[in-house]
Structure 1
Amino acid sequence: MSLNHWPQHLKPREKLLNQGADSLSDAELLAIFLRTGVVGMDVVSLATHVLQHFGSLNQLFNADESAFCQTKGMGQAKFVQLQAVLEMSKRYFQESMFRENVLDSPEVVRTYLHQLLRDETYEKFLIIHLDNQHRVINDEVLFTGTIDAAAVYPRVVVDSVIKHKTAAVIFAHNHPSGISEPSNADINLTNKLKQALSLIDVRTLDHFVIGYNEVVSFAERGLL
């Protein structure tokens, strides 16, 4: 049955307007993005097919152009549109993070870092520079490594902190394996960085480890 013949309250757009976006399934959200179906499939059926093909929204979002465009109902125009949506989402969370005291909006920081680092195939080590009010000055990837590790040098971290006139820092790095559990090497490195920065009166507020589905906080674990 065509989507036009569905009851109004079951149509994805109407459901979103009446009940909110969080009431929609992954397929319904994707259907709104796709807008139209194909011959023999309404848009919700197409969205369901696409999700089954890729396995999840995450896998769909990370598909390369070739795999995406070869899927029924997809194409280069939709690929470009999706990449724009994903980038806007990252920039939204980054802008939100820059506006506020990060300690007042920890979930915004976690979400931003998760979106930024979770799908990286190589390990990256990022630092968020904060002022005395714990507002973001800047964030930057200081080191990029291999699929297993990134070499992090305390001297480079200290130089960056001095350059930005930083009062406090938050560290973050991803585990390309997808497992967010901190390693002994992560813990030892964080202690070294914390000690080095304490000598110049810069506070280390947290270190986040980013996996596929989880973000682990050193502060919450009592590791700082």
Structure 2
Amino acid sequence: MGINHWPEGERPREKLLQMGALALSDAELLAIFLRVGVPGRSAVDLARDLLAEFGGLRPLLEADQPAFCAVKGLGSATYAQLQATLELSRRHLASQLARGNALTSPALVRHYLTAQMRHLGHEEFAALFLDTQHRIIRFESLFRGTLDSASVYPREVARRALELGAGALILAHNHPSGVAEPSDADRRITRRLQDALGLLDIRVLDHFVVGDGEVVSFTERGWM
């Protein structure tokens, strides 16, 4: 039976309009995005199949184009639409963060860094550059690769901070393993950056390590 024949209160789109997006399951939200199903399968049925095939919502959303488009009912147009939707979400978080003081929105900073970095299959080291009132100037990825093998150069971070006129920054990097616990190398790099930037009167306010479902703050650990 097609969704059009379901009771109105059970149709995902109508349910969202009546009760809000939080009331919907992953499959129902995905069905609204997909809009249509395949012969013999409603959009909700297809959504459930996809979640089972990929192992959940996150692996589905982070699938590369070949894996995504190889599934019956999907294709390059749907993949492009998904990527545009995800990027809109990231830009929405960025615009929210840019309007205020980063230190007054720690949860928003976490959400933003998670959206930017959790899906990466490699390790990246990045920074949120802030003005003297701790408002966001720019988020930039600075180094790529594991921190043990890919050097993080304090002079490059300092040079970029000066170019942007930053008065402070928040460091961030991801752990592709999914375990957010900082390593000894993470702590050593943070101290080096604090010392180097401190000579230029640029404060390092925090260092976040983004894992799979967890983000660790150095400041909250009492390390900064």
Do Structure 1 and Structure 2 share a fold, with TM-score over 0.5?
yes
Distance 1:197 1:173, change over 3 A: same
Q: Structure 1 stretches (4+) deviating beyond 6 angstroms? A: none
Instruction: Give unmatched runs, 5+ long, in structure 2.
Output: none
Instruction: Give the 3-state SS of the residue equivalent to 1:220 in structure 2.
Output: coil
Aligned equivalents of 1:177 and 1:112: distance in 2? 19
The corresponding residue for 2:182 is: 182
TM-score (normalised: structure 2): 0.94
Q: Could you tell me whether the CA contact under 8 Å between 1:148 and 1:176 is conserved in 2?
A: no
Q: Could you tell me whether the CA contact under 8 Å between 1:124 and 1:150 is conserved in 2?
A: no
TM-score (normalised: structure 1): 0.94
Q: Could you tell me whether the CA contact under 8 Å between 1:147 and 1:176 is conserved in 2?
A: no
Aligned equivalents of 1:139 and 1:62: distance in 2? 21
Instruction: Give the 3-state SS of the residue equivalent to 1:87 in structure 2.
Output: helix
* Structure 1 residues 202-213: aligned runs within 5 Å: 202-213=202-213
Aligned equivalents of 2:100 and 2:81: distance in 1? 29
Instruction: Give the aligned CA root-mean-square deviation in angstroms.
Output: 1.5
User: Does the alignment pair 1:64 with 2:42?
Assistant: no
Q: Could you tell me whether the CA contact under 8 Å between 1:121 and 1:147 is conserved in 2?
A: no
The corresponding residue for 1:8 is: 8
Q: Could you tell me whether the CA contact under 8 Å between 2:147 and 2:186 is conserved in 1?
A: no
Aligned equivalents of 1:81 and 1:130: distance in 2? 32
Alignment-mate amino acid for residue 96 of structure 1: Q
**CA deviation digits over 1:67-117, x for unaligned, max 9?**
212212111211111111111111111122222111122222211111111
Q: Could you tell me whether the CA contact under 8 Å between 2:102 and 2:136 is conserved in 1?
A: yes
Alignment-mate amino acid for residue 9 of structure 1: G
Alignment-mate amino acid for residue 219 of structure 1: T
In percent, how many aligned pairs have the same letter? 53
Q: Could you tell me whether the CA contact under 8 Å between 1:182 and 1:209 is conserved in 2?
A: yes
Instruction: Give the 3-state SS of the residue equivalent to 1:46 in structure 2.
Output: helix
Aligned equivalents of 2:124 and 2:215: distance in 1? 15
Instruction: Give unmatched runs, 5+ long, in structure 1.
Output: none
Aligned equivalents of 1:68 and 1:44: distance in 2? 18
The corresponding residue for 1:116 is: 116
Q: Following TM superposition, by how much is the alpha carbon of 1:22 offset from its aligned partner in structure 2, in angstroms? A: 1.0
Aligned equivalents of 2:38 and 2:118: distance in 1? 33
The corresponding residue for 1:98 is: 98
Q: Could you tell me whether the CA contact under 8 Å between 2:125 and 2:171 is conserved in 1?
A: yes
Aligned residues: 224
Alignment-mate amino acid for residue 210 of structure 1: V
Q: Following TM superposition, by how much is the alpha carbon of 1:146 offset from its aligned partner in structure 2, in angstroms? A: 4.4
